[in-house]
Structure formats: C-alpha cells, structure tokens
Amino acid sequence: MTTVKLHDKTFDTYLSSETIQQKVAELAGILNKEYADRRPLFIAILNGSFMFASDLFKHLTIDAEISFIKLASYRGTKSTGRIITAIGLEDDLFDRDVVILEDIVDTGRTLHEFLPKLHHQQPKSLKIVTLLHKAEATQFPIPIDHVGFSIPDKFVVGYGLDYDGLGRNLKEIYQLAEKDIE
C-alpha cells in the first residue's frame, strides 16, 4: 500500500488512478446517452471538483457547456440560519438542462442549502452527479442521480480533494490512515 504524508497526517491509497479514470469514463458514457441532443449546462463546484469535471468533460461527445462556481457560506440572522451564496454563477438557468458536478457529498448539507437557489431559476431539469458519496454520513438527504463511488465515512484526499490545502494534485484517492483517526 502506498502512503502519503500531508501536514501531520498519513493517508493510505484507496482508489487507484486507473479505477477512478474507468469510473469517470463510465459516468460520461451514461451522460452522453442521457443528454444526447440536449446541450446540458454542467456546473462544477469548486475547488474540489476541478479534476473530476475536467476528466469527465473530456469524455463527453455531446454538445455541452460548463461553468465553475464556488459556494460560500456565512451565518445569517437567527431566523435565516446559514446562508449559501454561489460565486461565479452567471448563467441563466431558465429552461436549461443543468447537471451539478460534485467531488464529494458528505452530510449533504451544502447541496441541500444550495439546491433551492438553483430551482428558483426554473431549469428544465436538474441532476446531481458526484464522484464520491459518503452514504453513511447523510444528514440532509438530497436526490443524487449518479454516484461514482459510495465510500465509508472516512476523510479522503487526492484527485482534487485537499487536507488543509494539500493533496489536490494526487492522481489517486487516499484515505486517512487508521492511526491518525481521532
């Protein structure tokens, strides 16, 4: 098993580059069929999804557009709770076939809070594709249409995902080593 050290923690290989690439190609194949003749707009959620989105997009053979957005959350008033804003969402989603690309869905909270903002723009359809899904960690159920890998509730890095800024460049996905789980 290969390990990497990022800051103070050790991570063990979990998904090889080949395994990831195969899955990404498989997901793209499904989307090519589902969106044939529909010109979908992909919205990739930064930072983590940049690598997944880039690899997936290369496998698309249909006409498709892509935008990258960043989600920022801040505390609103007591009654509004946490507020999510999308930075860089300039496209008009009205009547569009929209596909959200996520690197990982953990508790589901981020998308749960963000989805109403998208629905507000009345897209023709809205699907969610995530490379990784920690099903056991779900606290906010959201409708995910395609999952690359369903993974255990352990912290992962690599292939766009970071630990405190590091690890995004790794081609593989790594899991936090048992000894470093607090």
* DSSP structure class, residue 36: T
Active site residue 95: no
Q: Is the peptide bond before 47 cis (omega within 30 degrees of 0)?
A: yes
Chain residues binding ligand 5GP by CB under 6 A are 48, 104-110, 155-157, 161-162
Chain position carrying tokens 């989105």 = 53
Complex with ligand 5GP: residue 3 or 122, whichever CB lies closer: 3
CA neighbor of 127 nearest in space, from 30, 25, 58: 30
Query: From the CB of 112, what's the least distance to ligand 5GP, in Å?
Result: 8
Tokens encoding 49: 């999804």
Query: From the CB of 155, what's the least distance to ligand 5GP, in Å?
Result: 4
Query: From the CB of 36, what's the least distance to ligand 5GP, in Å?
Result: 29
Q: Which of 37, 106, 145, 153 is catalytic?
A: 106
Collect all residues with Cβ–Cβ distance below 8 Å to 100 and sequence separation of at least 6. Answer: 42, 43, 45, 111, 118, 126, 127, 128, 129
Backbone angles phi, psi at 150, to 5 degrees: -90, 120
Complex with ligand 5GP: residue 147 or 156, whichever CB lies closer: 156
Complex with ligand 5GP: residue 67 or 107, whichever CB lies closer: 107
Residues involved in catalysis = 106
